[in-house]
Structure 1
Amino acid sequence: MSFDEKPAPRAEHRLPAVIALLVALGLYATLPTTFLPALRYTVVAIGLLMLIPLIALNPARLRRQTRWSKYLATGQALLLVAANEVALVQLIILLTSSGKQDGPTLLLAALQVWVTNIIGFALVYWELDRGGPVSRRHADRKNLPAADFRFPQDEDHDAVEEVATRSSVKTGWVASFVDYLYFSASNSMAFSPTDTMPLSPRAKIFMVVEAAGGFVLLALVIAHAVALIN
């Protein structure tokens, strides 16, 4: 059977991405009051409002996509990332200027910002790569936009049999949100790609921004924790 004759992959379920988005919005909303409360609550409200028509279009599985839904979903992810980057800058300022009395609060805020950053960039990668979750599952591969990322499954078809059975060539595998979440987490912790490689300039720019933010945040958190101990 040729690749073109393989059945199309089943539509991706919306639930993992929705849960991740709600977790990120919750973490962002509960940052300390020093983190621009008006901006935070506005971003959370807008993010939730943007989610309503997206769920109405695809309540359970992502089968349909329109131009407005694509712009809305991508804009939602970019809004979360942009707003959290503002919180990251403010956190950096507070970590470098506050005293020991604010230490525990700022360390918890750092964890919130870091996790929100991972989820936000995962949503961006998920929405941008190869046209997004609907396009990846329902369009013929020859009609997909150019890939932003190269996953190991895309080239494992000539590996040993038990590995090759999971390859995209043999099974029609396509990345789901969990794959992008794992990739985003590994990029934020390792500050470099691990098993998934960026291919497009925009993918590399997003990865640089995410890794740089994670690196600076980790360095400042360690320094602040050492100061608290001493």
Structure 2
Amino acid sequence: MSKPMKVRGPSIRHTRRWPASLAVISVLVLQLLVPTQVNALPRWLMPALGALLLLPLVYMNPFHLRRDEPWLRSVAIVLVGVLVAVNAYYLAGMIFYLGHGDANQGKVLVKSALLIWVTNVVAFAVWYWEVDRGGPFARAPEHEREAERADLLFPQMTVDLDGWKSWIPGFTDYLYVALTNATAFSPTDTMPLSARTKVLMGIQSAISLLTIAIVAARAVNVL
């Protein structure tokens, strides 16, 4: 007589916070490498400001999203807004640098363009992660919150296959969306649904296009 098979109950899987935090920390470290030719601000200012905004997020939820406080999401939105604004400032500094005929150092241009482009991808990945369907807490099934309507339509949300019916996007998925949008200057496999996401993707594409078409092209000519 065979023993009855034990059915395991659904385990609670907490949404991970550390990938987004690690991405932001990486960007803050990169800010220390921005050449002084395009940055008139003190080099430590941006990393220090970003660290101050990131500290409460990491302290409250170091590895997983367990403590849901409304003010935490406001801090996160301010953090990514600062990242994007400062990155746009760096891009404006590069364009000003190019327009005055002093941009004859190819390595400086390539380094600046690469840092601006990487920061652009990571900052908007965090932004998409924070706004889609009301944020990661609203999307997480372990929290008793009602998610808002979807801002992004992932391919996994359109298929009826085993293993994908209760799929929830993680930070890696939003990082991929930001990467493809910055590379193709338009959505690829994931479509924006809400007006705010279309605005965000448009701004990200514009920053990426200016960085590659103006700064990187000039750097190649110099080299």
If the length of structure 1 is used for normalisation, what is the TM-score? 0.85
Number of the residue aligned with 1:182: 176
Quote the Cα distance in structure 1 between the aligned partners of 2:20 and 2:220.
36
Aligned to 1:37: 41
Distance 2:189 2:126 in 1: 18
2:211 alignment counterpart = 217
Alpha-carbon RMSD: 2.0
Find the counterpart in structure 1 of residue 147 from structure 2. Answer: 144
Deviation of the 1:123 alpha carbon: 0.7
Which amino acid letter does the alignment assign opposite residue 133 of structure 2? R
Ranges in structure 2 where 5+ consecutive residues have no aligned partner: 1-8
* Aligned mates of 1:97, 1:8 — CA distance in 2: 60
Partners of 2:100 and 2:184 lie apart in 1 by 27
Pairwise CA distance, 1:97? 3.2
Distance 2:11 2:158 in 1: 19
Report the CA distance shift for 1:212/1:153 in structure 2 as closer, same or farther (over 3 A). same
Q: How high is the sequence identity, in percent, across the aligned residues?
A: 39
Q: Secondary structure at the match of 1:37?
A: coil
Q: 2: CA distance between counterparts of 1:23 and 1:173?
A: 28
Distance 2:71 2:216 in 1: 43
After TM superposition, the structure 1 = structure 2 runs for residues 200-215 of structure 1, keeping only pairs within 5 Å, are: 200-215=194-209
> Deviations for 1:79-133, whole angstroms, at most 9, x for unmatched residues?
1111111111111222343446322111111000100010001111111111111
Q: Aligned residue for 1:3?
A: none
Question: Which position in structure 1 is the counterpart of 2:15?
Answer: 12
Q: 1:45-194 alignment to 2 at 5 Å?
A: 45-99=48-102, 101-138=104-141, 139=143, 143-157=146-160, 164-167=161-164, 170=165, 172-194=166-188
What displacement does 1:135 show?
1.5
For the residue of structure 1 that corresponds to 2:97, the secondary structure is helix
- The DSSP-based 3-state class of the residue aligned with 1:173 is coil
Find the counterpart in structure 1 of residue 5 from structure 2: none
Cα separation, 2, equivalents of 1:45 and 1:99: 30
Other structure's SS at 2:221 match: helix
CA contact (8 A) 2:110 2:216 kept: no
Deviations 1:111-169 (A, max 9, x none): 0010001000111111111111121113568x211111111111111xxxxxx2342xx
The AA in structure 2 aligned to 1:36 is A
Return 102-111 or 115-124, whichever deviates more. Answer: 102-111
Give unmatched runs, 5+ long, in structure 1.
1-5, 158-163
Taking the aligned partners of 1:120 and 1:8, their CA distance within structure 2 comes to 32
Q: Where has structure 1 moved over 2 Å in runs of 4 or more? A: 6-9, 40-43, 95-101, 138-141
- Larger Rg, first or second structure (1 or 2): 2
